[in-house]
Chain A
Amino acid sequence: MDNKGVRNLFIYGSLFFFVIFLYLTYDTMGKLDKRAPEITENVNQGKMVWHKYDCIGCHTILGNGSYFAPDMTKVVENKPKAYLKQFIMDPKSVNPNASMPKLGISSEEADNLITFLEWISKVDTNGWPPKPILAVAGTGQKEQAAGQRLFLSMGCQGCHMVNSIGGTSGPDLTHIGSKKDRAFVFSFLKDPQAVKKGSAMPPVKASDADIEALTDYLVTLK
């Protein structure tokens, strides 16, 4: 083939693939709204807050962004909203070890941002992020105490760590049994604010019997 032929192959071949790409884009655009919840005004306001503070300069969302701070796609599923709000407005007041600076985000902005994050957590992402293998395997264990099952099912691990597994938002509970007594743990779970003012932990919404069981489990962690 002479150079003109190769050139034409380049031009028309590229156009061919671009037309396919355009068609797929058109098809995708028609499907996107069905794969996500409706966008309310608050969701949009929350998205603007996300842009205003350049959140993507540290965080990722849908896995895209800066890899310096945790991914925000499913954050509302793992952390209580009251905690999130307090953290967003003044991170170090909630978690002294937090890397995030205080950006001056207002109460209204924080509410909208959380609404936006709720929206993004419900987008159909083809199963991303995948459930970690150990977490999936771990829930199938036998011989768990009732309190331990509650601990796992209520999502306490979203913020608290036990034996290196779990979040870093709240205190590590690996040795909580040797630090606090039964009465303290029980009353704290029922109403954290009454025991420790300004705590970002929400009250555990469960029957007294369940909180008893949870307490029984926690005090065994020594």
Chain B
Amino acid sequence: MKYQSQKIAQNFYTFAALLFLVQVVVGIIAAIQFIYPDFFILNFNTIRTLHINALVVWLLVGMMGATYFVVPEESQRELWSIPLAKFQFWATVIAVTAVVLGYIWMGIDPQANKTVLGTLLLNEGREYIEAPRWADLLIVVSVLLFLFVNFMTMLKSKKWTGIQGTLLAGLTMLAIFYLPGMFYTKSMVKDQFWWWWVVHLWVEGCWEIIAGALLAFMLMKTINAPRHVVERWMYVEVALVLFTGILGTGHHYYWIGTPAYWQWVGGIFSSLEPIPLLIMTWDAFRNTREYRTVSNKIGVFYAVAHALFNFLGAGLWGVIHTLPQVNKWTHGTQITTAHGHLAFYGAYVLLVISMIYVTLPLIRGVSEFNTSRGYRSFWWMTISMIFIVLTITGAGMVQTYMERLLGLDYVAVKANYNLWFWILRAVFGVGFLYGVWLFVVDFFKLGKEPVEA
């Protein structure tokens, strides 16, 4: 670590690692509720909200931590203001905790979710962006503070690198595209239309840009690939992500009451969305073969795995049901759940973990550390996730065939025909939890144990 202020990244990583653990624990509760709906004091809707919100927040917090590490490194100076960065961290922790407590309160007493000043107090009841309006405002303030600290750091150094610029562009867009989720519309069609602006343009737009910039940084740091090569490919990748991804939003506008031309727009552009992901995978493999001076093997390992599973989960598992002719039958089934799990695991979970493995040893000032637990964690998580995704894909195929094509009842298909898929999913969920546990232990112990020969 070259700059003291980069240490702040560790705070964010710690919070991210703990939320990851929470996310997977509640995920297992949700999986059991598919078999026993009355299992646990909180209903499925609350558990599911916690599962997904914890995911979104820990990934965001992880990316913030990574950014606080990357920006001083690229700007070649300390962060503009450490107290402000620290304040931003604690404000985020407090806001997130308050929101979670609100969800739990509402889960125990649904009537507590009252309308105050025209908005719901504890839970907005909109998937993924359930956080109430007061929390939205706190999130915006937190993101703006975060942007401000990083922007000032870059401005003071007057050193503009491509990685920095791209990272900043992705983060600025992240703040901007949160706004379409912050107003109420009386029409459920318009509600879902703008909701996809936030959800799709975050995940398949801004987040992929941030991922592209972080991947470029890691390739440069861990295998000493030259900057101009890494940056050129980064531009190509993020450009293609946006060229396909922006209009690819159309694949959410097939059946929600929007005009039929979206089927053409969404069908064509979202079919092209896997291409940049394939290039990223190829790029990661090509670079690691070409520049063999690897300084952090496990970091590169996770980075390459991220590229590969981003392509498999977001690309392949997405493209199979993206054409309107197919989506007509699969829309709203477990096929989407399967895609969601593999895509988030590949595109973002592995990305944040690889950033942690690349930067944490530098923060702790160790050049060598034990990696065996990190690799074991990877295999437990990855093999479990592959089987989780296969069981949900199987359940989705059965559901599509029996419910959508044959016309059997939803409840009958879920309770009878898919029962074994739910049981197996819960079992593999426990396997995944073990992998996460290994990662969290490794996170706290990294660099603090004697290095084995």
Residues of A within 8 A of B (CB): 3, 6-7, 9-10, 13-14, 17-18, 20-21, 24-25, 27-29, 31-33, 35-36, 39, 43-44, 47-48, 50-58, 60-71, 99, 101, 103-104, 116, 119-120, 123-135, 161, 164-168
Shortest 4 CB-CB contacts between residues of A and residues of B:
A57-B45, A132-B407, A51-B125, A63-B332
Q: List 23 A-B contacts (CB under 8 A).
A: A7-B165, A9-B239, A14-B239, A28-B259, A29-B193, A50-B188, A52-B110, A53-B113, A54-B125, A55-B125, A62-B189, A65-B127, A65-B332, A68-B34, A68-B48, A125-B257, A126-B254, A129-B255, A132-B406, A161-B412, A164-B408, A164-B412, A165-B408
Contact A64 B110 (CB under 8 A): no
Choose from B130, B187, B333, B406 the contact partner of A36 (Cβ within 8 Å): B187
- B336 near A: Cβ within 8 Å? yes
- How many residues does chain B have at the interface if contact means C-beta atoms less than 8 Å apart? 76
Identify which of residues 321-359 in chain B touch chain A, using a CB-to-CB cut-off of 8 Å. 328-329, 331-334, 336-337
Assembly CA distance A208 to B110 (angstroms): 45
Residues of B within 8 Å of A63, CB to CB, are 255-256, 331-332
Choose from A36, A54, A71 the contact partner of B49 (Cβ within 8 Å): A54
Which partner residue on chain A sits nearest B124 by CB separation? A51
Residues of B within 8 Å of A116, CB to CB, are 188
- B150 near A: Cβ within 8 Å? no
Contact A54 B411 (CB under 8 A): no
Assembly CA distance A116 to B125 (angstroms): 15
Residues of B within 8 Å of A44, CB to CB, are 186
Contact A67 B332 (CB under 8 A): yes
Assembly CA distance A56 to B242 (angstroms): 29
Which partner residue on chain A sits nearest B412 by CB separation? A168
Residues of A within 8 Å of B228, CB to CB, are 3
Contact A167 B239 (CB under 8 A): no
- B111 near A: Cβ within 8 Å? yes
Q: Which of A7, A10, A129, A168 has the most CB of B within 10 A?
A: A10
- Contact string against A for B residues 203-242, beta-carbon threshold 8 Å, 1 for contact and 0 otherwise: 0000000000000000000000000100110011011001
Contact A39 B186 (CB under 8 A): yes
- B263 near A: Cβ within 8 Å? yes
Assembly CA distance A60 to B330 (angstroms): 13
Which partner residue on chain B sits nearest A59 by CB separation? B45
Of B84-92, B245-253, B376-384, B444-452, the stretch lying at the interface with chain A is B245-253
Residues of A within 8 Å of B255, CB to CB, are 62-63, 125-126, 128-129
Residues of A within 8 Å of B333, CB to CB, are 67
Residues of A within 8 Å of B253, CB to CB, are 28
Contact B162 A3 (CB under 8 A): yes
Contact A134 B239 (CB under 8 A): no
Assembly CA distance A36 to B191 (angstroms): 13
Residues of A within 8 Å of B188, CB to CB, are 47, 50, 61-62, 116, 119-120, 123
Contact A128 B412 (CB under 8 A): no
Which partner residue on chain A sits nearest B111 by CB separation? A104
